Amino acid sequence: MQPDPHSAPAGDHRAAGIPASEPTIPTQEGTEDMTPDQISTEGTVSSQGGVAETPDGLLTVGKTMPDGEAMLAVRNLKKVYHTDGGDIEAVRNLTFDLPQGQLACLVGPSGSGKTTLLKCISGLLAPTAGEVTLHGKKVTGPPKSMAVVFQEYGRSLFPWMRVRDNVELPLKNQGVDKAKRDELVDNALEAVGLAHVPKSYPWQLSGGMQQRVAIARAVAYQPEVLLMDEPFAAVDAQTRADLEDLVRSVWKQLGVSVLFVTHDIDESVYLGERVIILSSSPTVIQQDVLIDLPEERDQLETRSSQRFSELRHHVYEQIQLAKKGFRPEDALAK
Amino acid sequence: MKTLKSLLYIVGLPVILLVLWYLATAFGEKNFFVPTPALLAETFVETWTWDRMTTDVFPSLVRLFWGILGSIVIGMVGGLLIGSVRWLRALLEPTMEFFRAIPPTVLIPVLMLLIGIGDDMKVAVIIAGAVWPILLNTIEGVRAMDEVLSDTTHTYGIKGFNRVRYLILPSAMPQIMAGIRQSLSIALILMVISEMFAASSGLGFTIVQFQRSFAIPEMWSGIVLLGIIGVLLSFVFQLVERVVLRWYHGLREIENAA
């Protein structure tokens, strides 16, 4: 099957059980002139992004922007771990852009190298090949304007510091003066609803509250990009719903770009403006989906809306495909 | 009521031991080498006068203090360095095992020749033995650093001295304190032994003098004093530990309850 980006609508491919390579998507050159009317026809899920040619053949890529316009750009990222038992290719080839102020979710089956990817983007791990640029500058170590919220809240907060000191530490380290620091910390604790426990130790709080502290710390740091690595995977479902809304509100208030990694399909659709679906390991982008839900999201209303279930359905199918070992590049190369 | 109960627990065993000792010495066969509790108490008061305190006990305690302080400083600084720098660890670890295996007491004659027979030598002997638990525990503590916590400080750009101060030191502190605890008793033992060689004052010196002149109750009173110093030392340690590791004990309690 020769991939023709302008061929039949997405629904047909899926109904036939054929992995939709890139339905209704413009080619990469056409990406920038995508308009809303092109995207959402009823019942179909529109993808953004395109196909790129690599030495290994064709590859689906996420949505990219013209050079220099994207805030965060990931280009041909590859990560191979060298172990005693041989090389493990965790991430094969990833390309996508994150524009300023966008909330994008990365979702993939478990073991799809999500954490590896995030560590490469945050500069904690050096990629084997390819690069990550922030404002056009190559990321070689953790950039100053980036904050990361980890899944293991219990291990990312300093147990020997009180809540307030935890939030304050990055600012103190940067040499922000006391008055400014107090203001930022107060506002951040207020924003996550923890203004009443500044003197507690993190381990005295519930899991959800601890993760709020970690979010407050990231907020007070005033990053331009906020990376979140399955932040709510370890909290209970009710707390998770609250925290999801918290992320949305913090994102709107601060105008930061958020890259949210999750394995929870509902969560990714509910939170994101865009969901990037990853294949199983070695990871490539399987599809880059535009989430055209209304701006205001509500746990009850949004989740029970028809569009939500369509999108959820689509992402779910794609993840199932990924779990079965479907490789987008194979489908394209045929 | 609760404090009374815990007090009873603390003094319970010592009282039982005292009674047993009294019964054995008062009604059993008289033994020249084992005084009765009453005689020992009397001798204790007579022997450890203020004069003797200033000439023998305080100098010993000063040496002990410098020995412990030196061990803590060298052990922690060295441990932080060796624990954080991989090539340094690879370079030093086998050699450290060698030096660690040497009993510090056999070094005394050598140290006497090298740095004389003064207080320096005695402090050096204490450090030579007491530094190891602190050094090795600090290395382990630094190496056992939580990866997520380490990543967190990286992403927030906390490095250099701030990283040591806010991350490495506090996170290694539980293990460092465990090392210090072991070192305290080693330091006390080495203090006594170092004073048995070429000394003219000190607790160890005095006790050996008593032994040689067959002043048996006096000798025992010195040994009791050593025991008391040991108890006080551990008491002070526990107070310090409770403050320094408050967070750690709280965390552990919650983890155990969960």
In tens, the pLDDT along A91-131 reads 888 889 999 999 999 998 887 788 889 999 999 999 999 98
CB A93 within 8 A of CB A58: no
Percent of chain A with pLDDT over 70: 84
β-bridge partners, A47: A289
Chain B contact for A324 (CB, 8 A cutoff):
no
For position A108, what pLDDT does the model report?
Answer: 86
Q: What number of other Cβ atoms are within 10 A of residue B108's Cβ?
A: 22
For position A296, what pLDDT does the model report?
Answer: 86
Per the CB < 8 Å rule, is A160 touching B162? no
Chain A closest CA to B157's CA: distance in Å? 7
For position A322, what pLDDT does the model report?
Answer: 84
What is the per-residue pLDDT across B148-197, written as a single tens digit (0 to 9) for each?
999 999 999 998 999 999 999 999 999 999 999 999 999 999 999 999 88
- Beta-carbon pairs below 8 A across chains A and B: 67
Does the CA dihedral A56-A59-A61-A66 come out positive or negative?
A: positive
More confident residue, B8 or A332: B8
For position A20, what pLDDT does the model report?
Answer: 42
What ipTM goes with this model?
Answer: 0.82
Q: Which chain B residue is nearest to residue A165, measuring alpha carbons?
A: B166
Q: What number of other Cβ atoms are within 10 A of residue B163's Cβ?
A: 17
More confident residue, A1 or A133: A133
Region A18-46 average pLDDT: 44
What is the per-residue pLDDT across A220-279, written as a single tens digit (0 to 9) for each?
999 999 999 998 888 888 888 989 999 999 899 888 999 999 988 999 999 999 999 988
Chain B contact for A110 (CB, 8 A cutoff):
no
Per the CB < 8 Å rule, is A201 touching B247? yes
Show residues of chain A in contact with B241, CB under 8 Å.
none
Chain-centre distance of CA A129, in angstroms? 21
Does A148 score more than 80 pLDDT? yes
The average confidence (pLDDT) of chain B is 91
Chain B closest CA to A159's CA: distance in Å? 7
Does A36 score more than 90 pLDDT? no
For position A89, what pLDDT does the model report?
Answer: 87
Residues in chain A: 334
Per the CB < 8 Å rule, is B247 touching A173? no
> Which of residues 115 through 154 in chain A touch B, CB cutoff 8 A?
119, 122-124, 141-142, 144, 146-148, 150, 152
For position A19, what pLDDT does the model report?
Answer: 42
Q: Which residues of B touch A (CB under 8 A)?
A: 146-149, 151-152, 154-158, 162, 166-167, 170-171, 173, 247-248, 250-251, 254-255
Per the CB < 8 Å rule, is B166 touching A173? yes
Chain A closest CA to B154's CA: distance in Å? 7
Chain A closest CA to B86's CA: distance in Å? 18
Rounded Cα–Cα distance for residues A220 and A204 (Å): 21
Does A149 score more than 80 pLDDT? yes
Q: Is A252 helix (H, G, I), strand (E, B) or coil?
A: helix
**Could you say which of A150, A159, A221 has the minimum Cβ distance to residue B251?**
A159
| pLDDT bracket for residue A33 (50, 70, 90) | very low
Among the listed residues A44, A67, A51, A89, the one whose alpha carbon sits nearest the alpha carbon of residue A286 = A51
DSSP-derived secondary structure for A271-317: H-SEEEEE-SSSEEEEEEEE----SS--TTHHHHSHHHHHHHHHHHH
For position A32, what pLDDT does the model report?
Answer: 39
Token pair, residue A175, equals 């040499």
Q: Which chain A residue is nearest to residue B246, measuring alpha carbons?
A: A160
> Which of residues 153 through 172 in chain A touch B, CB cutoff 8 A?
155-156, 158-161, 169-170
Does A57 score more than 70 pLDDT? no
The average confidence (pLDDT) of chain A is 82
β-bridge partners, A257: A225
More confident residue, A21 or A228: A228
Number of helices followed by number of strands (H, E) in chain A: 12, 12
Per the CB < 8 Å rule, is A201 touching B251? yes
DSSP state of B102: S
Rounded Cα–Cα distance for residues A289 and A275 (Å): 5
For position A225, what pLDDT does the model report?
Answer: 92
- Tell me which CATH homologous superfamily contains domain B20-257: MetI-like (1.10.3720.10)
**Could you say which of A160, A173, A221 has the minimum Cβ distance to residue B247?**
A160
What is the per-residue pLDDT across B193-250, written as a single tens digit (0 to 9) for each?
999 887 888 899 999 999 999 999 999 999 999 999 999 999 999 999 999 999 999 9
Per the CB < 8 Å rule, is A158 touching B166? yes
CB B181 within 8 A of CB B237: yes
Show residues of chain A in contact with B170, CB under 8 Å.
158, 160
CB B134 within 8 A of CB B46: no
Show residues of chain A in contact with B157, CB under 8 Å.
142, 144, 170, 173-174
Show residues of chain B in contact with A204, CB under 8 Å.
250, 254
Residues in chain B: 258
Does A58 score more than 70 pLDDT? no
Show residues of chain A in contact with B167, CB under 8 Å.
158
CB B97 within 8 A of CB B239: no
- At the top level of CATH, the class of A10-145+223-333 is alpha beta
For position A43, what pLDDT does the model report?
Answer: 60
Domain boundaries, chain B: 20-257
Show residues of chain A in contact with B158, CB under 8 Å.
169-170, 173
CB B186 within 8 A of CB B71: no
